[in-house]
Amino acid sequence: MINIGCHLSIASGYEKMGKDALSIGANTLAFFTRNPRGGKAKEIDPNDVEKFLKLARENNFAKLVAHAPYTLNPASKDEKTRNFALMAMTEDLERMEYTPGNYYNFHPGSHVGQGAEKGIELIAGLLNQVLKEDQTTTVLLETMAGKGSEVGATFEEIREIIDKVELKEKIGVCLDTCHVSDGGYDIIGDLDGVLDHFDEVIGLKYLKALHINDSKNPMGSHKDRHAKIGEGFLGLETIVEVVKNPRLKGLPMILETPQESLDGYRKEIETLREKGE
């Protein structure tokens, strides 16, 4: 049984997300903890969360992979922008404790001309401020495509961030198939070689979740434009290899493909369950 789901809207609450997930054959899900463009997060209704947790338990949901707003930039040179990232992540991690023991994924950030070293230092600095000994959430660094001055497009940069984090048991990595291919890793030709490299540089024990996307651009393009499964440069075959890989089995896999409706995700989940089991 593979653990697969997609991004869902939290606008109508947690239980609604759980029901939407079930309706498309998913047993995990992702959601933006607040409007991706920033802004305030919605009040949490404990009753709604309770119903969701029951549903998730009864249907053997895998860990959820919440997503921080992608506009946060802990590596910014602007102190106000960094403070916003600090505030939003602190608050999000408090909210994550309503659904204990899950994942919170974020884009490490863009160093905007300060250099990767400075960016890495700022990102690790933020993590050392927000991670708490008693939190049950694991915070995931997402592997990036290397668009602009994004930090985290190489396994080495991710490793360097982790090296500087004090509470390493609270940290993990989310591998995005579109991003790593755009970043120059040949998962099309040599998935196992890429995983070996990940293991050498970061350690596979840090790999906690996957974003399953095809890419509109060829390997090494540094573009970050997701395509539907089978409609991009990775192709269905590569995605199936990822889903089936024994070293990745069991990890929550989240689709972030451009879909017009939930039905698009339902079809992709059906295909990947069929070919990937």
CA dihedral 262, 267, 272, 274 (to 10 degrees): 140
Which positions lie near Fe ion, rule CB under 5 A? 142, 176, 211
Which one of Fe ion, Zn ion, none is in contact with 211 (Cβ closer than 5 to 8 A by kind)?
A: Fe ion
157 lines the binding site for Zn ion (CB under 5 A):
no
Q: Shortest distance, CB of residue 256 to Zn ion, whole angstroms? A: 6
Question: What angle do the packed helices 116-130 and 79-96 form, to 10 degrees?
Answer: 40
Name the residue nearer to Fe ion (CB basis): 15 or 154.
Answer: 154
Q: Is beta strand 207-212 parallel, antiparallel or unpaired with respect to 214-215?
A: unpaired
Name the residue nearer to Fe ion (CB basis): 208 or 211.
Answer: 211
Helix, strand or coil, per DSSP, at residue 269: helix
224 lines the binding site for Zn ion (CB under 5 A):
yes
Name the residue nearer to Fe ion (CB basis): 157 or 176.
Answer: 176
228 touches 272 (CB < 8 A): no
Which one of Fe ion, Zn ion, none is in contact with 224 (Cβ closer than 5 to 8 A by kind)?
A: Zn ion
Name the residue nearer to Fe ion (CB basis): 142 or 157.
Answer: 142
199 vs 93, 118, 192, 204, 206, CA distance in Å? 28, 25, 10, 5, 9
Question: What angle do the packed helices 155-164 and 187-201 form, to 10 degrees?
Answer: 20
Looking only at residues 23 through 42 of this chain, which bind Zn ion when binding is defined by CB under 5 A?
none
Residue nearest to Zn ion (CB): 224
64 touches 26 (CB < 8 A): no
User: What is the torsional sign of CA 192, 239, 202, 118?
Assistant: positive
156 touches 185 (CB < 8 A): no
Q: Shortest distance, CB of residue 145 to Zn ion, whole angstroms? A: 6
Name the residue nearer to Zn ion (CB basis): 92 or 224.
Answer: 224
Q: Shortest distance, CB of residue 133 to Fe ion, whole angstroms? A: 27
Q: Shortest distance, CB of residue 13 to Zn ion, whole angstroms? A: 26
Instruction: With contacts defined by CB under 5 A, name the span among 17-25, 218-226, 234-242, 247-255 that binds Zn ion.
Output: 218-226
Footprint of Zn ion on this chain (CB under 5 A)? 224
